[in-house]
Amino acid sequence: MDGFITESVGKISDGFFAAIKLVLGYYLVRLLLVLIERFFGLAGVIVFVILLMAIGAFYLYRSWVIGISDHKRAWRGMLAGLLFWQAFVMIADFGSFPLFERLGILFWVMLVIVMFTLWKKIQPVGIMMSLAVFLTCWMGRIYLTGLPLTAGWMPALQLAYGSIRWLAVAVGIAAIIYIIYRSRNAISRGLAGIVIFGAFLFLLRAF
């Protein structure tokens, strides 16, 4: 009975709570950006970006600390990835960099290949989770950037591209089922939580 309760708490904390905290953190940072930009202008936004990167680096470093649980390593990595992503988007918006168009897609594919190549052999848990959050958000932004480009496509292709959003939602539902019935450790539940987080943003088109 105790083992069942412990496992159930772990599934809620490592998976579902992680997804909820990522969503709340995402929107909190966006809200802070709006307020800072309104009251402090560009200078305030630049300071905010530097602060986000510094906090992200701190949490990524803390995910390497010896003696902490995989749950803490995973969450610190997720938070770092979320903060790095927010800073990345703000910097890209400053310079109008093509990071979400064709060149950006190539960079994204390269990072995915590197991540999966080194996934279990080299990468610590914190970096794994940080990259997973970052790449999930980046993939969503590429999807949103591509939506206007589908205006001249055949109706069938437009429908297929638009259905990617609902495919992501279906994958998110599958991740919920996985956490409940199949997950066995904090790392797998954390990754599933990231999938749920990404599916929610895809649903709202909020990247």
User: pLDDT per residue over 184-198, tens digit each?
Assistant: 888 889 999 999 999
Q: Give the range of the structural domain holding residue 195, as residue numbers without chain letter.
A: 2-204
- pLDDT at 101 > cutoff 90: no
95 against 192, higher pLDDT: 192
Model-level pTM?
A: 0.85
Instruction: Give the pLDDT of residue 119.
Output: 62
Question: What pLDDT does 32 receive?
Answer: 96
Examine the pLDDT at 143 and tell me if it is beyond 80. yes
The rounded mean pLDDT for the chain is: 84
> Number of structural domains, the chain?
1
Report the pLDDT averaged over residues 124-138. 90
DSSP for 87-154 reads HHHHHHHHHT--TTSHHHHHHHHHHHHHHHHHTTTT--HHHHHHHHHHHHHHHHHHHHHHTGGGGGS-
Residue 3's pLDDT is: 45
Stretch 108-125: mean pLDDT: 69
